[in-house]
Amino acid sequence: MTQDQKTIYGIIGNPLKHSLSPAMHNAAFAELDVPAEYKLFPLEENELDQFFTDLRKENSPIFGLNVTVPYKEKVLSYIDSLNPLAERIGAVNTIVINQKRKLLGYNTDAPGFMAHMAELEMNMRGKRVAILGAGGSARAIIGTLCMIPDRPESIKIYNRTTSRLETLLEDIGQRINIDIVEPVNSIDDLNMELADVLINTTSLGLKKDDPLLLEDELFHPHMFVYDLIYNPPETKLLAQARKKGAKTANGLGMLFYQGVLALQHWANTQLDDKVKIVMRKALYERTGC
């Protein structure tokens, strides 16, 4: 890397078109007045090997990455050192590339989710939680809900592909205590009428023509419904829940908090409030909410 070259950060995943991370991080770099740029790296699975080989080269300008759908678990095999939280969860969404070109893996989704819950004053203690999905972000949510002191009473999880859910629980169960978790084979078995909290961790809802997973009748006014998707700002699922009187929130706050934590790992310093405000403003300008 030459001295006048910009430092590059970015996100790997597929699809990436919906990502608001470039807006958030580039706004932070401008505020901090650092010569850096955050880019999208849309990658097919068969391109991962080459990408990570290039990443280790001395002349690579890339010093930090986020990881999103569908690679949060797959990237583990490329990481040199996992921080304890990422190790326990088994998923990485933030990579620091140090001066020796070693790759350090972190999970900022889990603390990002909890920071958003705190902002929303949503205490999970004793709650009956239903989760949709069993991908990389589900790992972070399940992991953090099982590890926090204010644990829910129960967590029921449904995933379209049952075998993936089984594998996830088998794996994460070796890392942490998941005694409050119960996998279910059908939406009916989620017992939504008894659920206090519903969390969508699937990517269903990202696209306009995505089908509905749940019937309208399953939502009720005493529940809190959280969708990790933030673009569109109101998914069909959140609209269903809102119409039935449930409290709702999208994942924009989680994106913000995980982004702040990721940037703090890359910069190896705490961000001051001024930078955080700029990051949040950039997100709200893009989504209009």
Ligand X SMILES: NC(=O)c1ccc[n+]([C@@H]2O[C@H](COP(=O)([O-])OP(=O)(O)OC[C@H]3O[C@@H](n4cnc5c(N)ncnc54)[C@H](OP(=O)(O)O)[C@@H]3O)[C@@H](O)[C@H]2O)c1
Residues 114 and 122: their CA atoms lie apart, in Å, by 9
Stretch that binds ligand X, among 122-130, 239-247, 253-261, 264-272 (CB under 6 A): 253-261
Coil vs helix vs strand at 186: coil
Number of chain positions touching ligand X (CB under 6 A): 28
Interface segment toward ligand X; rule CB under 6 A; list 27-35, 127-135, 150-158, 217-225: 127-135
Q: Which of 72, 88, 156, 276 binds ligand X (CB under 6 A)?
A: 72
Residues 140-169 that bind ligand X (CB under 6 A): 159-161, 164
Q: Is 72 a residue of the active site?
A: yes
CA 133 to CA 203: how far, in whole Å? 8
**Are 97 and 63 contacting, i.e. CB atoms less than 8 angstroms apart?**
yes
In angstroms, give the least distance from the CB of 231 to ligand X. Answer: 8
> Smallest Cα–Cα separation from 82: which of 70, 95, 67?
95
102 interacts with ligand X by CB under 6 A: no
Q: How far apart are CA 216 and CA 188, in angstroms?
A: 13
| Among the listed residues 226, 219, 231, the one whose alpha carbon sits nearest the alpha carbon of residue 200 | 226
SS3 state at 206: coil
Is the Cβ of residue 103 or residue 138 nearer to ligand X in the bound state?
A: 138
> Which position among 72, 127, 156, 276 bears the catalytic label?
72
- How many Å apart are CA 112 and CA 107, to the nearest integer? 9
Tell which positions 168-227 bind ligand X, by CB under 6 A: 201-204, 206
Does 228 participate in binding ligand X (rule CB under 6 A)? yes
Catalytic residue IDs:
72
- List interacting residues with ligand X (CB under 6 A): 68-70, 72, 109, 112, 133-138, 159-161, 164, 201-204, 206, 228-230, 251, 254-255, 258
